[in-house]
Structure 1
Amino acid sequence: MKKQYKRFRLRTVSAIAAMAFTANAWAVEPFTVRDIRVEGLQRAEPGTIFASLPFRIGELYNDEKGAAAIRSLFALGLFKDVRLETNGDVLVVIVEERPTIADIDFSGLKEFDKDALRKALRDIGLTEGRPFDQSLADRAEQELRRQYINKSLYAAEIQTTLTPIERNRVNLTFSVSEGEPARIKEIRVVGAKAFSEKTLLDQFDQDSGGFLSWYTKSDRYSRAKLNADVEALRSYYLSRGFLEFRVESSQVAISPNKQDITITINVAEGERFVVSAVRLEGNYLSKDDEFKSLVTIRPGEPYNADRVAETTKAFTDYFGNFGYAFANVEAKPEIDRSNNRVTLVLAAEPSRRAYVRRINVAGNSKTRDEVVRREMRQFESSWYDAEKIKLSRDRIDRLSFFKEVNVETSEVPGAPDQVDLNVTVVEKPSGSLQLGAGFSQSEKLALSFSIKQENAFGSGNYLGVEINTSKYNRTVVFNSVNPYFTPDGISRTIDLYHRASRPYEDQGGNYQLVTTGAGLRFGVPFSELDTVFFGAAVERIQIRPGTNIPAAYLAYANRFGYTSANLPLSIGWGRDDRDSSITPTSGRLQRVAIELGVAGDARFVRTNYQFQQYIPLNKQFTLAFNAEAGYGKGLGGRPFPVFKNFYGGGLGSVRGFDQGTIGPRDVTGSSIGGPKKLTLNAEVITPFPGAGNDKSLRAFGFVDVGNVFGENERFDVGQLRASVGLGLSWISPVGPLRMAAAIPVRKFPGDRIQKMQFQIGTSF
């Protein structure tokens, strides 16, 4: 007898369609399932099917359970079709698997890296070895299109191609035609009367293009950048008395060919207000006079939102010094529109005192927690202290291991008197690698190599190795610094060095000055900013005679011997409160170093002092001063040893003169340096014209003055060399680059001039 089959079928790609199963499928009389078979599997495991079914063998099957089974199987995301069939009391599950992604590729990419895009797709579940999902492919295409729009590539076209291959697999290809980027053709500020449009547009990072736009991409439209520029415009007005200034609209129009963008910003300036008085209200912990001293708003001056924010922040921070982490300070303007005056009321409510429960450190994937935590001056289970928290943040930033350091406070749920401190850092490359090669007729090929790691293995320790293979200048130097040799923060520095050099390569000859030594120094912190250094070294210095040896070297060797064994002691002091060690705009650096030869063949004292000051003139311009003075003197009736002389000229000294050539000269014409040195530098630093406010590319104008004097020469202002010039500093992809073009304005016969000078390193 021919068997009768009852079957039903449901094709769907969504749970909603599956829910309609009972209404659209043929009804099946409930029955007890004797067996379950699965057909159509290629890669999925049968167990995956059985685990998703809402019934088992021996249980009752009905239409409701059938609909639930289909919904559950589609939810796995593995199948593009699911059918249930009955053969008597046997249930047959027939599936058609989605194809598996064999490869994902991109073509036509210029703005994005393929590996970065593959990682982004992997994060949303679209990757090799996973079932293909058209909805995810559509989502990826739309996200890629959005990223191109963010880069002003509005004409970018993206086509997704699906290529079936054997074994139910597919290759997914995103073909991109990027086109030309849309560029800002014009930016208008409409409604401005108090300031010129050019002055207002100077506050923007975006512009209509310049000769450096290829580098800065400042003419590429970005909504985020536009919002930042609008805020900069608002801040400019609010800091100049326009209390009721508002931006009424910002309109962006793109040309039909999607190449030109016009931005129009409509503003309403309002009236300019002058501060008539500043008044304190609320609870100031009986320290009203102390809080008043923090007010930077002065009656009679135009209302300045920056100073208002500065004052309220200073109040909040000062409350924090007493443990009030949740102090609320609000600036309330009382406006007299008839006289264009405003009284500023500073209302304060300190709220409750709190202590720090826990300090959390995040973002340090390489650097050990200990390296960050040992710089903290705010401790766990101690009263919240805003001053110590700021000091902690500054100390972590001065490590130079991180691009960004942020410290945020979060409340502890259920504990109103407790807070957690969350220290978040963004690591940066802390090593430097320098490779150099040169060729000259005398030296042939000369190679130099140095590698320095300021944060070796994430320990916070410094390691440095320098090697030079020049025929006349061979150097091997090893440095190691442990900034926390003791738990109290005493540092230890170890120096090992061997140098065989001919100080001035322009004077042909085969003489050499060979220095071999080892040194040990300790740094003792006497305050949060001040460190005193103590150290000692053992040196063996040999003057090896040869052709064209400077007469000063020969005279010293004939009198005191060609070999000197020395035991110099050193003491120094350093203080650095600059806001950045790479691109400083404010702060001061001071260093003092004294070297004392008290034992051995050479008896001398050698001192060096350096002073730097950075003064921000405005948002773009910084005034920088540098002064360096050195003095050396022989002791015990001996002259100052020639191998300890100072040298001047070149980058880091008086630019425009050849490196190390200004100062006393030997009878042979060789520059031999001297025990007295003075260098003065002044710079005006600004972002490079056309680079907006980008601090990685900066231009500077400078004036340099200085000279080196012999032991028997008095300091003579009339002998100072001077130069003026322009320079460029660039934090380039291959490392910091500094270039200077200088014109000597005070020089003397015999001076060696070098108008163009530069230096570069690389980071990793």
Structure 2
Amino acid sequence: MKLKPLHLLLAAMFGSTLAAAWAIDPFTVRDIRVEGLQRTDLGTVFNYLPVKVGERFDDGRATESIKALFATGFFEDVRIERDGETLLVTVQERPTIAQININGAKLLEKDQIRQALRGQNFAEGRIFEQGVLDAAVNELKQQYYARGRYSVIVKAQVTKLERNRVGVQFDIAEGEVARIERINIVGAKAFEEDDLLQEMALTTSNWMTWYTRSDQYSKPKLQADLEVLRSYYLDRGYLEFNVDSTQVAISEDRESVYLTINVSEGAQYSVSDVKVVGETVLGQQALQELVEIKAGEIFSRQKLNKSTAAIADRLGDEGYAFANVNAVPQIDKEKHTVAFTIYVDPGRKVYVRRINVSGNNLTRDEVIRRELRQLESAQYDGSKIKRSRQRLNQLDYFGEVNIDTAPVSDAPDQVDMNVSVTEKKTGQFNIGAGYGQSEGVVFVLSLSQNNFLGSGKQFSGEFNNSSANKVYSFSLLEPYMTPDGVSVGYNLYRRDTDPSELDIGDYSTSAYGGSVRFGFPTSETNRINFGLSAETLKLQTTSDSPNRVLEFIDRHGATNSTFGASLSWSRDTRDSAAYPTRGMLTTVGGEITIPGSDLDYYKFNFSNQLFIPIWGNTSLLWNIDVGWGDQYNNSEFPFYKNYYAGGVSSVRGYDYGTIGPKDENGDGMGGNKKLVNNFELLFPIPGMKDDKSTRLSVFADAGGIWASGTDPAVDDLRYSAGVAFTWISPIGPIKLSWAKPFRAKDDDETKGFQFQLGNVF
């Protein structure tokens, strides 16, 4: 016969007093019976039940048993009853989630939403709990809040299904993106509010925020901007600057955000004294020269940090890997001055015991190790480690390169250098197109592999087609033919050209050939290249071909073969190849035909790009491009090797090839002498100051072409000035320019607006 039950509700388990249990006389449990199970294993209940057969059972054990079973999260209701000497446990299981449906999601992919739900332990096959569902709904809202959708509405409908299951449907109304309508900086007196707002990444809506999305509020962005403001003030002497509070207000329709930043500026401090003390090792004077911040200047945290970092780096270059350099301030609040004592503790010299390489599943160890400038069993050198990381990044084989030095536990003067890389795909198969006003439509088909079988070898095959040029080529490069970095490369090609499409002559050429080239590094930034080449070129004419072409064929025939040798020197100190702001790229080289050629001629080329930082990401580019070719041995410089100028990549505002002498048909002839000079002020697009793929510029170009037998003269130069836009887009570089030509000749073809889409060869 069943006796008095103990029925405790789940709600009593959390924050409430347990419901009073019916009084029960203590008894010894002879058997335990569980009823109501559908999915849960019987052993699971016995595992969590804190009472066993043969043990004494009373009111305390009853309360403890119900708590334990509820804590599993498996059950909605638990009842414990006594049936003689048998303990009867009756449970009602929670339902499981049979299916999850998502409606109305456009901004987020359904897989993204399901991933977010799984992060909250809400997924098909899991036990359904209302608390977990509420957390899942909140997580979905947070996902949309992070994307500026504060008006999002997420509703969850639960439908009961057979076999104690439920279906859950999420209905999402995404709403509109909340835009920042106003940013107020309260307490700013030393600087104009507009100047401070220019420093921040978050902005109010403007003509470019559709692309930058900088008008969409996010807490991480705001925290970053607050640090930017703090740095701005500290770099200008406001040592006591503080951000007191921030308020973020959202409009009633939850589509507008208003930010208020409350700051205390404090007084401006100047530096009264700076001294370096401690075990300087290299001499106090040598380290003092590395200190950028000087007495009498306005305090700048940036200069102070650069000074301590420079001292630490200098000691690292001498083998002191764990040098401690700390600047301790002494503040005089009455005089508003601060003095700094820079304490230097170099520690002991450190040697690199072992270099460990990891993460290179495809790339061979030797390909990585040959780029390292820090060697095993050698003294630690911080500059060589930095250069090693830079060279590995320049390979473009890895998405991420990390180098750290770990102390050796039983050797305090040794470290292990751990090189960790994350490989990325280095093979490319491209089918694409480009367009240039001069070249027309260009179709490109290419296959390349920059790290063939992890060996570091590079090969590529390419076909591109335009109205003026058709090119088929194959190349292979071994960057380390020797351990010292001597490279060797091979190239085979076929090139068909129709200059009439470029208005530089009514004729066509068909050339095929190949080359072998060698590269010799002379320093970390300098390189010498030497090459040998062979080419056979055939000329085709028409009834409208100019006399210079017909006369050349009369003297030398329609087909000519040449063998050439080339030598060049290059130096690259730019901070970036894609978005340079400082440094210089210089190339000096020449090529000459060698005995066995049908024509004897040579060419000399010089180019130099100098980037001078002005402020921020604004830089001045000074580009010079000089070319000069001529014959020797009483031969002739072939007209199809002439230089040309004009176009979006040369002297803007003039059509390609129209600068310089013309033939009897009015087409540009080119010449054996070229000079192009460009001055260009490069700066970010307003509202996109942190974007590294776009640039605006203001430029002034000058250039000239001179034919054989004509001396270069300033009067022959053409000039232009204008504005340009460059975008490194996913489909390739896009270049736009508008230029006003100056001192153009009557027979020059000018064009104010010019553009080029993609890489045009």
The bucket for the TM-score relative to the shorter chain is 0.7 to 0.9
Alpha-carbon offset, residue 240 of structure 1: 2.0
Alpha-carbon offset, residue 249 of structure 1: 2.7
Distance 1:457 1:729, change over 3 A: farther
Range with bigger deviation, 625-634 or 91-100: 91-100
Instruction: Name the counterpart of 2:511.
Output: 515
Instruction: Name the counterpart of 1:187.
Output: 183
Aligned-partner SS, 1:202: helix
> Partner amino acid for 1:253?
A
Distance 1:74 1:514, change over 3 A: farther
Aligned equivalents of 2:732 and 2:93: distance in 1? 52
Alpha-carbon offset, residue 404 of structure 1: 6.2
Instruction: Name the counterpart of 1:174.
Output: 170
Alpha-carbon offset, residue 498 of structure 1: 0.8
Alpha-carbon offset, residue 253 of structure 1: 2.7
> 2:266 is matched with which residue: 270, 278, 284?
270
Alpha-carbon offset, residue 422 of structure 1: 5.6
Distance 1:236 1:507, change over 3 A: closer
Aligned equivalents of 1:51 and 1:359: distance in 2? 55
> Partner amino acid for 1:466?
E
> Partner amino acid for 1:276?
S
Kindly indicate whether the alpha-carbon contact (under 8 Å) linking 2:536 and 2:561 is maintained by their aligned counterparts in 1: yes
Distance 1:238 1:387, change over 3 A: same
Aligned equivalents of 1:658 and 1:324: distance in 2? 59
> Partner amino acid for 2:619?
T
Instruction: Name the counterpart of 1:391.
Output: 387
Kindly indicate whether the alpha-carbon contact (under 8 Å) linking 2:275 and 2:288 is maintained by their aligned counterparts in 1: no
Aligned-partner SS, 1:504: helix
Aligned equivalents of 1:526 and 1:15: distance in 2? 77
Instruction: Name the counterpart of 1:661.
Output: 658
Is 1:629 the equivalent of 2:629? no
Instruction: Name the counterpart of 1:742.
Output: 739
Aligned equivalents of 1:398 and 1:444: distance in 2? 33
Within 5 A, what are the aligned runs for 1:605-616? Answer: 605-616=602-613
> Partner amino acid for 2:207?
F
Kindly indicate whether the alpha-carbon contact (under 8 Å) linking 1:709 and 1:715 is maintained by their aligned counterparts in 2: yes
Kindly indicate whether the alpha-carbon contact (under 8 Å) linking 2:697 and 2:723 is maintained by their aligned counterparts in 1: yes
Instruction: Name the counterpart of 1:348.
Output: 344
Within 5 A, what are the aligned runs for 1:302-451? Answer: 302-356=298-352, 371-400=367-396, 407-409=403-405, 411=407, 416-419=412-415, 421=417, 433=430, 435-436=432-433, 447-450=443-446
Distance 1:37 1:138, change over 3 A: closer
Distance 1:423 1:740, change over 3 A: farther
> Partner amino acid for 2:621?
A
> Partner amino acid for 1:221?
Y
Aligned-partner SS, 2:227: helix
Instruction: Name the counterpart of 2:671.
Output: 674
Alpha-carbon offset, residue 435 of structure 1: 1.9
The percentage of aligned residue pairs carrying the same residue is 39
Instruction: Name the counterpart of 2:231.
Output: 235
Is 1:753 the equivalent of 2:750? yes
Distance 1:345 1:637, change over 3 A: same
> Partner amino acid for 1:551?
N
Instruction: Name the counterpart of 1:582.
Output: 578
Aligned-partner SS, 1:198: helix
> Partner amino acid for 1:109?
A
Kindly indicate whether the alpha-carbon contact (under 8 Å) linking 1:37 and 1:90 is maintained by their aligned counterparts in 2: no
Distance 1:366 1:165, change over 3 A: farther
Kindly indicate whether the alpha-carbon contact (under 8 Å) linking 1:448 and 1:470 is maintained by their aligned counterparts in 2: no
Instruction: Name the counterpart of 1:538.
Output: 534
Kindly indicate whether the alpha-carbon contact (under 8 Å) linking 2:12 and 2:19 is maintained by their aligned counterparts in 1: no
> 1:565 is matched with which residue: 561, 565, 568?
561
> Partner amino acid for 2:346?
P
Aligned-partner SS, 2:499: coil
Instruction: Name the counterpart of 1:144.
Output: 140
Alpha-carbon offset, residue 513 of structure 1: 0.4
Kindly indicate whether the alpha-carbon contact (under 8 Å) linking 1:10 and 1:25 is maintained by their aligned counterparts in 2: no
Instruction: Name the counterpart of 1:112.
Output: 108
Alpha-carbon offset, residue 516 of structure 1: 0.7
Kindly indicate whether the alpha-carbon contact (under 8 Å) linking 2:5 and 2:79 is maintained by their aligned counterparts in 1: no
Cα deviation digits, residues 708-752 of structure 1 (max 9, x gap) = 222222111221122111112223344432222222123112212
Cα deviation digits, residues 64-83 of structure 1 (max 9, x gap) = 99999988887877776778
Instruction: Name the counterpart of 2:248.
Output: 252
Kindly indicate whether the alpha-carbon contact (under 8 Å) linking 2:12 and 2:18 is maintained by their aligned counterparts in 1: no
Instruction: Name the counterpart of 1:498.
Output: 494
Aligned-partner SS, 1:639: coil
Instruction: Name the counterpart of 2:723.
Output: 726
Is 1:283 the equivalent of 2:279? yes
Kindly indicate whether the alpha-carbon contact (under 8 Å) linking 2:671 and 2:706 is maintained by their aligned counterparts in 1: yes
Alpha-carbon offset, residue 447 of structure 1: 4.0
Alpha-carbon offset, residue 417 of structure 1: 3.9
Alpha-carbon offset, residue 704 of structure 1: 1.4
Instruction: Name the counterpart of 2:294.
Output: 298
Distance 1:10 1:300, change over 3 A: closer
Range with bigger deviation, 734-743 or 86-95: 86-95
> 2:692 is matched with which residue: 690, 695, 709?
695
Aligned equivalents of 1:439 and 1:187: distance in 2? 43
Aligned equivalents of 1:444 and 1:192: distance in 2? 55
Alpha-carbon offset, residue 538 of structure 1: 2.2
Aligned-partner SS, 2:114: helix
The CA RMSD measured in Å over matched residues stands at 4.1
Alpha-carbon offset, residue 207 of structure 1: 1.9
> 2:216 is matched with which residue: 213, 220, 230?
220
Alpha-carbon offset, residue 466 of structure 1: 2.9
Cα deviation digits, residues 492-534 of structure 1 (max 9, x gap) = 3222211111123055998420111122222222221122212
Alpha-carbon offset, residue 257 of structure 1: 3.2
* Structure 1 stretches lacking a partner, 5+ long: none
Cα deviation digits, residues 386-441 of structure 1 (max 9, x gap) = 1112212222333345676554555566764444556566777865846227799x
Aligned equivalents of 1:664 and 1:551: distance in 2? 14
Instruction: Name the counterpart of 1:648.
Output: 645
Distance 1:411 1:288, change over 3 A: same
TM-score normalised by structure 2 residue count: 0.86
> Partner amino acid for 1:622?
S
Alpha-carbon offset, residue 84 of structure 1: 8.5
Distance 1:552 1:390, change over 3 A: same
Aligned-partner SS, 2:217: coil
Aligned-partner SS, 2:199: coil
Distance 1:226 1:168, change over 3 A: same
Cα deviation digits, residues 338-385 of structure 1 (max 9, x gap) = 544433322111123334456566787887766554432224454321
